[in-house]
Amino acid sequence: MRPEYIKLDTDKPTYIRKDRLNAIANIDMTVFDCDGVLLDVRRSYNKAVAKTTIMIIDAFTGTMLPDTLFDGALNFKYKITGGFNSDWAHTYAYIMRILVEAGPEGLKEINRMATESLKFQKPSDRFNFIEGKLDIPIKLDGLYEKLEQFASRLDSTGIESVNRELLEKVGTGVTETINFRGEVGESMLSTLFEELFGGKKLFTETFGLLPSFVEVENGIVGEEEIVILESTIDLFEELYGAPRFGIASGSMANTARHALGDILYRFPKQSQIWHDVVDAAMDELGKQGLHKPNKFPLMKAAESYRPIKQGLYVGDTMADYYTAKNAGNEFIFAGVYECVHVAEAAMNAFLDRGSDIVAPTVNDLPMIILYAREQQ
């Protein structure tokens, strides 16, 4: 059952949990997710997920899937589980479920070819070895519904829930060839994704590698738009008396820097925790699994601001919601929904989970904090 909310008189629905008014009034620092919060990525990451999936399925089966298969409503089904904050993981889930449609005999052939490709070290060489050698039809009729149904069986463990369902069925030849858990330059999936996303120059700047799958001058990242306003950052600084805010995001630092431009310099450097920062921390600590929804990125972004009266984490997915919950009472959560493909469904999902604040965009949050302080 939903908790009791105060609905504010705003252009688009804005909600505050009534029992969290005091906590909201005491907020003295904020950590933001990036994609869907600081940036509108509806036209970029979803396109990169679709294109990567289409190219890998085509290489493994000879079937070219339509772009329209991967619409915003379907993507939301996976995001709402809380397990697919990473778009690489989201892509992996699509690929695994679609390959099931090749059937046992088709998968036997795919795994044979995939295993043979492992004699090549570079993921692009494995891709090129497989591409065009198999003709295993994937029926499009009912595929969208099957992908929807599959999402309903997944949970916040993300990749682990995909593998529990499908690893044995799809086969280890496929998964070893895709090498999902490998780094960019080692993994077929993440390397292809990032080449498509960043384009030649940005990919090379970010990873120190030349593209090997595709020669794209302008990557999909160019379709992102900045959401947060300079005036919003000014208001947060006024509310807190200093720039007490940071970023905890699954994005790569360099690609986010490219998309955000000069506005990124408003965020203190030590409080910017990106995907590659967490990777480096995992190597240093000898630990795995520190990416969201683990609380590590959020707590690391907040580190320099302690002591904290009340922290706020702002996100657009259920993975962000769980990240805040995993951080305990130190953080409350604001779910922003306007930059999600199915905005109303996202808004209702945040309300059903009992999010502390539900607002259209990050730009509405200073007004909400001011409102709570006035109520006190």
Residue 157 has pLDDT above 90, yes or no: yes
What does CATH list as the number for 5-41+224-375?
A: 3.40.50.1000
13: preceding bond cis by omega (within 30 degrees): no
Residue 9 has pLDDT above 90, yes or no: no
Q: Say which residue the tokens 């930059």 belong to.
A: 339
Percent of the chain as helix, strand, coil, to the nearest 5: 55, 10, 35
pLDDT in tens, 261-294: 999 999 999 999 999 999 999 999 999 999 999 9
- 13-31 mean pLDDT: 98
Q: Say which residue the tokens 């994005």 belong to.
A: 251
Q: Cα–Cα distance between 13 and 7 in angstroms, integer?
A: 7
Q: Cα–Cα distance between 87 and 278 in angstroms, integer?
A: 16
Residue 118 has pLDDT above 90, yes or no: yes
Tokens representing 93?
């889930």
Q: Say which residue the tokens 């702002």 belong to.
A: 314
Count the Cβ atoms, other than its own, within 10 Å of residue 26.
17
How high does pLDDT run on average in the chain?
96
Beta strands in the chain (DSSP E): 5-7, 15-17, 27-32, 39-40, 225-226, 245-248, 272-273, 310-315, 331-336, 357-359
Q: Where in the chain is the domain with CATH 3.40.50.1000?
A: 5-41+224-375
pLDDT in tens, 26-44: 999 999 999 999 999 988 9
Compute the half-sphere exposure of residue 134: CA atoms within 13 Å on the CB side of its CA.
Answer: 28
Provide the pLDDT for residue 45.
85
- 110-130 mean pLDDT: 97
- 154-164 mean pLDDT: 95
Q: Cα–Cα distance between 70 and 147 in angstroms, integer?
A: 10
Q: Cα–Cα distance between 285 and 279 in angstroms, integer?
A: 10
pLDDT in tens, 333-363: 999 999 998 999 999 999 999 999 999 999 9
Provide the pLDDT for residue 46.
87
Tokens representing 282?
């995992």
The dihedral of CA 113, 116, 120, 122: what is its sign? positive
pLDDT in tens, 71-108: 999 999 999 999 998 999 999 999 999 999 999 999 99
Burial 345-364 (b: 16+ CB within 10 A, else e): bbbebbbebbbbbbbbbbbb
pLDDT in tens, 119-128: 999 999 999 9
Provide the pLDDT for residue 85.
87
Provide the pLDDT for residue 1.
82
Q: Are 85 and 295 in contact (CB under 8 A)?
A: no
Q: Which residue has the higher pLDDT, 376 or 96?
A: 96
Residue 227 has pLDDT above 90, yes or no: yes
Report the first-to-last Cα separation within the chain, whole angstroms: 26
